[in-house]
Amino acid sequence: MPLDREQVEHIASLARIGLTDDEVEMFRQQLSDILEQFQALAELDTAGIEPTGHAVDLRGVLREDEAGSSLAAEEALSNAPRREGEFIRVKAVLEE
């Protein structure tokens, strides 16, 4: 079933992606086409089959808890778009 514009806008808001009107229409069509390809899965009975998250059997690889060097604050902040001293500056999260 093809997506409608409202659904695309809802998905975009979940993903926090601002779309133009033209993009909403383009993605509506393209995502609908892609979702149609997924119908093949719906036809398969997978009852009782365990899901696989990682294809290689991993047994919780843990490292020793040893103190080591880490990034200096100046390095860690070197790519921040907006700074104030040793802090990253952001817009107000809570509004009045």
Partner 1 sequence: MSTGVPLTIHDASGMLARQEISSLELTEVCLDRIQQCDDRVRSFITVTPELARQQAGEADRRIAAGSARPLTGVPMQVKDLICTRGVATTCASRMLEDFVPVYNATVAERLLGQGAVLLGKGNMDEFGMGSSCENSAFFPTRNPWDLERVPGGSSGGGAAAVAAGEAVYAIGSDTGGSIRQPSAMCGTVGLKPTYGLVSRYGLIAYASSLDQVGPITRDVADSALVLNAIAGPDPRDSTCLDIPAIDYAAGLALESSTPLGRGGTSGAVRLGVPEEYFTDGMEPGVREALESAIDTLAGLGADVETVSLPTTRLALACYYIIAPSECSANLARYDGVKYGYSFQDTDNMWEAMEQTRGRGFGPEVKRRIMLGAYALSAGYYDAYYLKAQQVRTLIRQEFDQVFQKVDALVTPTSPVVAFPLGSKTADPVEMYLIDVCTLPVNIAGLPAISVPCGFSQGLPVGMQLIGPHLSEQRLLRIAYAYEQATEWHEARPDL
Q: How far is the CB of 76 from partner 1 (least distance, A)?
A: 7
What count of residues does the chain have?
96
Q: Which helix (H) or strand (E) holds 22?
A: helix 21-37
The DSSP output letter for 28 is H
CA atoms lying within 13 Å on the CB side of residue 53? 1
Give the footprint of partner 1 on this chain (CB under 8 A).
Answer: 8, 11-20, 23, 26-27, 30-31, 33-35, 37-38, 40-42, 44, 46, 49-56, 58, 60-64, 71, 75-76, 78-82, 88, 90-93
Q: How far is the CB of 26 from partner 1 (least distance, A)?
A: 8
CA atoms lying within 13 Å on the CB side of residue 27? 16
Q: How far is the CB of 42 from partner 1 (least distance, A)?
A: 7
Q: How far is the CB of 77 from partner 1 (least distance, A)?
A: 9
Query: Which residue type does 7 have?
Result: Q
Locate tokens 């926090």: which residue?
16
